[in-house]
A = this chain, B = another copy of it.
Amino acid sequence: MELRPYRHDVKYYECDRMGITHHSNYIRFMEEARVDWMDQLGYGFDRMEAEGVVSPVVSVDCRYRHPSTFKDIIEITVAVAETTPLKIIFAYTMTVGGRTICTATSTHCFLENGRPVSLETRFPELYSQVLKLNA
């Protein structure tokens, strides 16, 4: 199964005094791409939330290679870098016109009623899809 990359058009209000996309916004673009990725797999944030599961971000790291700016179209591919029953690490590659501008990862756990929940047990279908993508 091939997932399509996510596209973010850089907004005017996302750029700073240097005229470039403020670095904090990439963390938001990662979330947008992750949401889209889960939607493509059929397990949207909203569905998870409706079932009482949230997936907080445990950590992020982000390496800014080249700036982007207003009207740039950032193409973001999401890959699963690592999966355990309790944790997923996503890897992001962001390009503008084919040039990599940013690479990043984010680590997530899953909570139900404030307690860690196993993705494998709670969403076995999603977990098996993720494992396949990770292969």
Contact = CB atoms under 8 A, between A and B. Distances in A.
Interface of A: 11-13, 15-20, 22-25, 27-28, 31-32, 35, 44-46, 49, 54, 56-64, 67, 70-71
Given A15-B16, A24-B13, A61 B61 contact: yes
A101 B10 CA distance: 25
- The residue in A13, A44, A46, A61 that gathers the most chain B C-beta atoms within 10 A of its C-beta is A13
A70 B56 contact: no
B27 A23 contact: yes
Given A16-B16, A18-B56, A23-B27, A61 B62 contact: yes
Contacts of A24: 13, 24-25, 27-28, 31
B58 A70 contact: no
Q: Which A-B residue pairs are the 9 nearest by beta carbons?
A: A61-B61, A24-B27, A59-B63, A23-B57, A15-B17, A24-B28, A17-B19, A13-B28, A13-B22
Contacts of A16: 12-13, 15-17
